[in-house]
Amino acid sequence: MKGLSLLQLSTQNLKRRLFRTLAVAACLALVTGTLFSESLLSEGVQNSLQVGIGRLGADVMVIPSGQETPAQTSLLMGEPSSFYMNKTVEKEVSAIEGVERVSSQLFIGSLSQASCCSGYFQLIGFDPQTDFTITPWLTSALHRPLGNDEVITGSKIFPAVGDELLFYGHKFTVAGKLESTGMGMDKAVFMPVQTAYVMAEESTVKAEQPLVVRRDQISAVLVKVESDSFVDLVASRIKRQVQGTSVITSLQLIKSVENHLSGLMQNLYFVTGMFWATSTLLIATIFSMATNERRREIGLLRAIGANGRFVFKMIVTEAILITLLGGLLGIAGGGVVMFSFSRLISTSANIPYLWPTILQISRVIGISVAIAIFTGLIASFVPAVVSSRMEPLYAIRSGE
């Protein structure tokens, strides 16, 4: 039978020195919270890319030469853009060796602050006959062809299924919504390409500003490469053989975001690293001061029968408990910040973001908690060793 456990003793010490406990915990909560938010941001971008590119289904996107930047911005962030090339490109691309299937799309930016448009969105006309990128990802299956005046919207477009939308004076009914990807397609409105042409033709009378798109024009050709072909090889063939076009491969898209993200994350991690180092020093100083103040108490514990190892474990346990508390508070705070501001961060940093999966979040939580505990360990190590080796009489006297 034993009296108080090490944990009970440590908990009592922390409870009775509540202000110091909370101050140290708050300091670590800031570090852990920042780190947790950054990691969540990084994971969210990775997740978005993985899901978005996966759902896009295309290995290569063929666009008019010189339109790489607006095309990428549209794909990643949903920034409306309009660019066109001749429809014959679709046929030329389909004839290239290594191409399994193609589907063309028409990109139209709706008008902002115009009474003829429900909002400023990227409108995408797709060919229902050949499409392999949109219809498979409806949140609930649409067991019929999309009607002429029906649209499918991305997850971030507010109106629900059955609601009406107005573009260039043409009324549409929302027939389905896509699952969230965190990428540009979440803010896009999809309609059959023939409807898009009709909308363009009618715009001369119905819209505040006419839409100039001819029926022989498309914006992009989405390409699925044969499984035994190399995407880069097929992409370079397209670029070489189809005049006036550029290509964006899914890998390029990922790399472009990753490059952008790595610059941002490097800066953030550097600042957090410095913040962590400063906090660790601060916490170590607080622990050192706290153990100095408690010298007599430590001497008393030794006199009552605590051995040096017990004293060491007690100080380290207190440190771990405080940093664990700080870590958990930081994780909760960081989670709230990311939940509230992830969209704003994504938009201002120009990066796609999709809330990470449970597995990713669990991993980030695990790492954050481990870092918090590690911080407690290193901050308390020296004071714990010094206290555990102190002669009891010296401890009692120097604490007087």
The footprint of other proteins (CB under 8 A) covers 1-6, 9, 12-13, 15-17, 296-297, 299-310, 391-394, 396, 400
| Angle at CA of residue 374, ends 268 and 372, nearest 5° | 55
| 11 vs 73 by CB, closer to other proteins | 11
Q: How far is CA 108 from the centre of its chain?
A: 27
Q: How far is CA 42 from the centre of its chain?
A: 6
188: phi then psi, degrees, rounded to nearest 5? -110, 155
Minimum distance between the CB of residue 332 and other proteins, rounded to whole angstroms? 27
| 23 vs 300 by CB, closer to other proteins | 300
| 1 vs 141 by CB, closer to other proteins | 1
222: phi then psi, degrees, rounded to nearest 5? -90, 130
Pairing of strands 60-64, 245-249: antiparallel
| 9 vs 193 by CB, closer to other proteins | 9
CA distances to 114, 292, 326 from 319, rounded to whole Å, are 60, 15, 10
Residues in the chain: 400
- Per-residue DSSP letter, 3: S
Minimum distance between the CB of residue 396 and other proteins, rounded to whole angstroms? 7
Minimum distance between the CB of residue 43 and other proteins, rounded to whole angstroms? 40
Minimum distance between the CB of residue 29 and other proteins, rounded to whole angstroms? 23
Minimum distance between the CB of residue 8 and other proteins, rounded to whole angstroms? 8
- CA torsion, ordered 316, 319, 324, 330, to nearest 10 deg: -150
Minimum distance between the CB of residue 397 and other proteins, rounded to whole angstroms? 8
| 320 vs 396 by CB, closer to other proteins | 396
| 303 vs 367 by CB, closer to other proteins | 303
Q: Are 22 and 286 in contact (CB under 8 A)?
A: no
| 21 vs 153 by CB, closer to other proteins | 21
Minimum distance between the CB of residue 357 and other proteins, rounded to whole angstroms? 43
Radius of gyration of the chain (CA): 30
Element (H, E) at 109: strand 99-109
Its sign, for the CA torsion 156, 159, 160, 165, is: negative
| 162 vs 305 by CB, closer to other proteins | 305
Q: Are 82 and 121 in contact (CB under 8 A)?
A: no
Pairing of strands 170-177, 245-249: unpaired
Q: Are 389 and 308 in contact (CB under 8 A)?
A: yes
Minimum distance between the CB of residue 292 and other proteins, rounded to whole angstroms? 16
| 7 vs 277 by CB, closer to other proteins | 7
Minimum distance between the CB of residue 316 and other proteins, rounded to whole angstroms? 17
